Structure 1
Amino acid sequence: MIRIPGAALAVLTLAAMTLAAAPAAAETPEAPVAAVVHHEAGVWTLDLTLDRDAPLWVFGDSEPLGDGRGWRLHQWTVETPGARLETVGGRDVLRGVNGAPVPRRVRLRMEPRFIDLQASYDPVLMFSNGAAAWYSEVFHLIPLASADELEALPRDLGPLVDQSGPARVTWSDADGPVLVQGQRLEAPESSRVGTYILFGPAELVAGDGLSTVVDPGLPGWIADELADWAPRVGEQYAARLGPGESTAPTVMMSWTGPTPGKTSMAGSVLPGLVVMAFEGEGVLQPSAGVRDMARWFIGHESAHFWLGQTVRYATPEDSWITEGGADLMAIRAMQAIDPAFEARERLQAAVDACVDFADQPVSTSVDRGEFKAHYACGAVFALVAEAAQKRATGGDWFDFLRPLIDANREDEVLTRAEWLDRLDAVSGDPSLRADMETLLDRGAEDAAGVVARLLGRSGVAVLFEEDEVRLA
């Protein structure tokens, strides 16, 4: 999630999505909840069919707002007698009245409004022409037998959603087909989480690299800029790395309106989809800051269609492979499109941050809340690999990366060992791997010296003076 100014970065998780045009019941995997999201004449309803008696059903995706209530309580109203919607311990729950089970069939009326959540995907994106895009995960429920079970729930409910069986959601719009993963479909169904479903009018502009869906109310200067920029970024990646995870990768841009005193851009990446929500009067007029942040966001997040989705890391400790790798992909793609792009400034920032974080093990930095370490040191490691590739073949980062992606398209996992084995093969210098493993597993008191020597031995020109590593 990114905002301007004061960009804040949140770790984003990915999950698979299965969609079809209303398959037969025999083909439907078991799920504890069947949900129908329906829109007609401006009215939104959610019809839930539950498969068992339980006094509590907790939503697997919840986040309270400033008043302590979950966002659903601000937008959803239960219409079925015998059930009520509450927030308990920061989680939204359906509760049966007087301790009774929640009725097997529950209807809620929804009044969607855009809310920029801090630690979750935004539940719904609102477009200026009345269109709305729902995040599919917000309709999944987990049955519980008691309040004690609710209190004992772990922080991350994702595995419990999978264990109980994600809801099968049907998306229905009386005004016509909904847009999902680049296609317009009548009443599609989803049994897994991980995308936005767009209801209402919105033009899908197909591109060779990335397609775009742009809110018609988005200020023209940024709409035109990104409608041109996004496909060109995708073309770069496809040309250098082959096909990505999705056959129709898409960037979806919404406009919340010219809120006085505000300039913001929230966004996230999901399988085959990058979403961006702009808001504030600061977006009305051309702004280099807004443009550059939006360009970078598209460059980094769409890189994950290849490095992160076509192949993913094996464990969270290895996310430096995808995050730092995506940063260098974005830098090289942006250089190719715009020769005026200042790559050195971005790379120097990565070097500086890596030195700051690498006095402790980089692989476990997320446990310490140091999320940027994987981005920064991952980018430094990618720069080392690129320099080794250049020495060996005259190639670049994409030439180093493509064989790794191609070799793992089937199992879809790029391991740390595979990445480092390729570095050994390209560089012929096992000391590069040794230094990276030191930074990953133990950290180094002399982090600046280790980073400087690592870069220098691979062929990156650096100056190292007074514990400062400067790209020459």
Structure 2
Amino acid sequence: MGGACAAGPMVSRQAVLDESAPQVTVTRDGDHLNIDYRFGRDVPVWAFMDSALETDSRQPWRPRQWTVQTPGVVMERRGYYDIIRSTDGGPVPREVRFRVRPQAVDLEAEYPTLLFSNGAVALPTRQLDVFALPSAQAAEAVPDDLNRVTLDGGSSRVTWRDDNGPVLFNGRRHDQLTTMDERSYVLLGEATVTPGEGLSTVIDPNLPPWIGEEIRGFAPRVGQYYRDRLGAPGSGGDTPIVMVAWNGPTEQMTSMGGSVLPGLIVMSFEGRGVTTAQPDIMERSRWFIGHEAAHFWLGQTVRYQFADEAWITEGGADLMAVRALKRLDPAYDDRSELQSEVDDCVNLAMKPVAQAGARGEHRAYYACGAVFAMAAEGAQKQRTGGDWLDFLKPLLRQPDGVLSREEWLTALTRTSRDPSLRGDMERLLDQGAADPSAVIARLFQRTGVAFRLDNGRIVLS
């Protein structure tokens, strides 16, 4: 079952912006897209900021979907990035066209393309951003976390068109739309916006009905719980929108995936296993919604600074979802969910958790982030009798909207009055441990998280 992810850092990448920012036109033509770049200057190499790998294959997604139509231009992978360059070594032509057949694939820590069963397609608005490089070899020296570097490039100015009708953006139809700095999705094709209590929905017409009913019924309740405990999310603004795609009843598959952006949750479902509302699938879908809705607070009201700090938002949102589901459904087995977090963290923390993304082990950010949040919750309970959301609430008041690792760990020390907790967490983050169970057990012992050791395994109690 695919995991939820608030993909990538929500902070704006540092960039040098100028009036020669690329002009891009995206035109839907049946089941294909034409993407036309018009560059305002001569550059040897353009690199795509969104160059994530496919989750399953760990191969770049763009070369599998985009075909270069302009003679003398090639696309290839260099380092962490998809690049385009001229075959003769000169500047990239000022105008470059791609013919695209979009596919729905899960990406590592990035926003995916959504395909709807009626042929509509939704693309992330920032998928088309590029930066300039002096050579193909220079791309190999660019780190995977662009928040740590200054780039020669930035937001592209993108015009969106559909030959068959208007496009959809933020719940509204436009005959033609231009975006630049917005971080959201644009839907090309037929779609219906359904206003609802607390949120609007854009749902694939062939989505199994129970999923739509569950989203419309449960998402407002979990959102209200977070609002009651934490206040209004900093993203504020219009009524949130949930956009849900259906990739069909594939045999022997049960898949849920998605992410969150300002005012928007996007989800995709696939597989025979989700065509009927079985109890375990219902529970997972609720947890999934709880996690994604949590990111309106932990991920947008505040966001992490660098990609290796994703454990702050992902693990924190996991524990938020567990606490919300238990509050709304007392029969929910919260201990089983948290046991999975502990088990997975033990398996993944033998190597540095902070570098898990580079290894393709993004699950470490969720599992170990949740373990750290459980320890913080234990410290809060010892200090005030409160829970994870009580620990989290003051951390949402960052003036710059960024919750850094330093600020998170400082809050833990302030609440627990035990600086050794920070030391053990930093060890797992920066070095890993030969025996993560021993380190986690020490964290739990000092913060009052109930557990026992069973042949060296941490078993929550």
Task: Compute the TM-score of the two structures, normalised by the length of structure 1.
Answer: 0.79
Q: 5+ residue gaps in structure 1?
A: 19-27
Structure 1 position 242 matched with structure 2 position 237: no
Cα 1:161–1:204 shift into 2, 3 Å: farther
Residue matched to 1:330: 321
Match among 406, 411, 414 for residue 400 of structure 2: 411
Q: Give the Cα–Cα distance (whole angstroms) in 1 for the partners of residues 354 and 134 of structure 2.
A: 38
> Relative contact order (alpha carbons < 8 A, sep ≥ 6): 1 or 2 greater?
2
2:375 maps to 384
Residue of structure 2 in register with 1:252 after alignment: 243
Q: CA deviation at 1:252?
A: 1.4
CA separation of 1:57 and 1:205: change in aligned 2, threshold 3 A: same
What's 2:179 paired with?
190
Matched, 1:156 2:141: no
| 1:94-143 Cα distance to aligned partner (Å, 9 max, x none) | 55576665543445554x44231544746532222332212223323445
Q: Which residue does the alignment assign to 1:52?
A: 41
Whether 2:7 is the aligned partner of 1:12: answer yes
Question: 1:170 is matched with which residue?
Answer: 159
Partner residue in 2 for 1:129 = 118
The structural deviation recorded for 1:55 is: 5.8
Larger Rg: 1
**Greater Cα shift, 391-400 or 87-96:** 87-96
Aligned to 2:259: 268
Tell me how far 1:51 sits from its aligned partner.
Answer: 0.6
Q: Which residue among 269, 280, 295 is the counterpart of 2:271?
A: 280
- Percent identity reads 44
Q: What amino acid sits opposite 1:397 in the alignment?
A: W
Give the superposition deviation at 1:327.
1.1
Is residue 212 of structure 1 aligned with residue 201 of structure 2? yes
Q: Counterparts of 2:19 and 2:346 in 1: how far apart (Å)?
A: 49
Tell me the TM-score normalized by structure 2.
0.81
CA 1:61–1:241 in structure 2 vs 1: closer, same or farther (change >3 Å)?
A: same
- Aligned residues: CA RMSD: 3.9
- Unaligned segments of structure 2, at least 5 residues: none
> How big is the shift at 1:63?
6.6
1:38 aligned partner: 27
Report the AA paired with residue 339 of structure 1: P
For residue 339 of structure 2, give the secondary structure of its aligned residue in structure 1. Answer: helix
Count of paired positions? 451
Contact 2:314 2:366 (C-alpha < 8 Å) held by counterparts: yes
* Residue of structure 2 in register with 1:321 after alignment: 312
CA distance in 2, matches of 1:361, 1:92: 27
Q: Deviations over 1:397-448 (max 9, x none)?
A: 1111111112x1x211223343333334434455544554555456566643
Q: Deviations along 1:277-313, whole A, 9 cap, x unmatched? A: 2233333333344433333222223322211222123
Give yes or no for contact 1:15–1:271 (8 Å, CA) kept in 2. no
Deviation at 1:200, TM superposition (A): 3.1
Structure 2 CA distance for partners of 1:158 and 1:387, relative to 1, 3 Å: closer
| 1:375-397 alpha-carbon deviations (Å, 9 max, x no partner) | 33322232232233334433221
Q: Would the alpha carbon gap of residues 340 and 75 (structure 1) be closer, same or farther in structure 2, given more than 3 Å must change? A: same
Which of 339, 347, 356 does residue 338 from structure 2 map onto? Answer: 347
Secondary structure at 1:130's aligned position in 2? coil
By how many angstroms is 1:465 displaced? 4.9
Contact kept in structure 2, 1:16 and 1:192, CA below 8 Å: no
Q: 2:392 aligns with which of 380, 395, 401?
A: 401
For structure 1, which segment, 246-255 or 439-448, has the greater mean C-alpha deviation from structure 2 after superposition? 439-448
Residues 290 and 77 of structure 1, relative CA distance in 2, 3 Å threshold: farther
